[in-house]
Amino acid sequence: MGLWDKLKQASKWRGQDSYSRYKGKREYERKRADRDREQAEAGATRGREKAERERGYDERYTRERESDTGSE
């Protein structure tokens, strides 16, 4: 990388809109982290609900089988 390239790169951070770019990037990253966290929580909730539903089905079918075998 030549001197000219280094000067171009350094001038990008000293421009008028450099703070707004920095601020926008931080805001974007914060929102993305929030979105990821919400999606993870929603996925965990769905997983717990599914497991609970399956457990209820298993219990119900077990009771039905027991009642069927008891009546025979």
Checking 6-15 for CB contacts under 8 A at 24+ apart, the result is none
Number of separate domains in the chain: 1
Q: Is 58 within a domain?
A: yes
pLDDT of 72 > 70? The answer is: no
Q: Is 52 within a domain?
A: yes
Give the CA count within 13 Å in the CB-facing half-sphere of 69: 5
* Structure confidence at residue 15 (pLDDT): 58
Q: Is 7 within a domain?
A: no
Range of the domain at 35: 19-66
Q: At 1, is the pLDDT very low, low, confident or very high (cuts 50, 70, 90)? A: low
Q: Is 4 within a domain?
A: no
pTM over 0.85: no
pLDDT in tens, 15-71: 566 777 888 899 999 999 999 999 999 999 999 999 999 999 999 999 888 888 866
